[in-house]
Amino acid sequence: MSFSEVLREVVERIEGATSCIILASDGIPVEEYTTERLIDFNDLSAEASTLIKDIELASEDLGIGKAREFSVIADSCGIIMRKITDEYYITVVLKPDANYGKARFVLRTVVPKIEQEFIT
């Protein structure tokens, strides 16, 4: 299954999902699928690397291990990022009334389908 097929599947399986993106930890997008742009992907890419670094540092400082997933829920949309490997994340963008629990479940189940593609 190609990345674009996996990303489309994620969006289609989650009520209220509008986009799914694979991002490198430095913020560079690898692949994306969208039905509606709730946010600017260039802005998301630029901010993602800072978010990832800050969350990894906080997780380390708290002594709780590596962060596998994090979310930002705001007025206009929600963003859930799940780690594929140390260098790559799958990200879903959701409408405010989306099913966030299902989004977390779908990301958790889809990562095993694609993680081998990122392991060198």
Strands of 4-49 (E only): list them: 17-24, 29-34
In the chain (120 residues long), the average pLDDT of successive 10-residue segments reads 90 97 90 92 86 91 93 94 94 96 97 87
61 in a structural domain: yes
pLDDT for the residue numbered 63:
95
66 in a structural domain: yes
pLDDT for the residue numbered 88:
94
Phi then psi for residue 116, to 5 deg, are: -60, -25
Whichever domain contains 109, its CATH number is 3.30.450.30
Number of domains comprising the chain: 1
Helix intervals (H) in 21-99: 41-62
Question: Where in the sequence is the domain holding 12, given as residue range(s)?
Answer: 3-113
pLDDT for the residue numbered 110:
96
pLDDT for the residue numbered 15:
96
| DSSP string of 53-64, one letter each residue | HHHHHHHHHHT-
Expressed in angstroms, the distance from the first to the final Cα of the chain is 18
pLDDT for the residue numbered 47:
87
118 in a structural domain: no
Distance CA 1, CA 16 (A): 23
Q: Using N-to-C axis directions, what is the helix angle for 3-13 and 100-114, rounded to 10°? A: 160
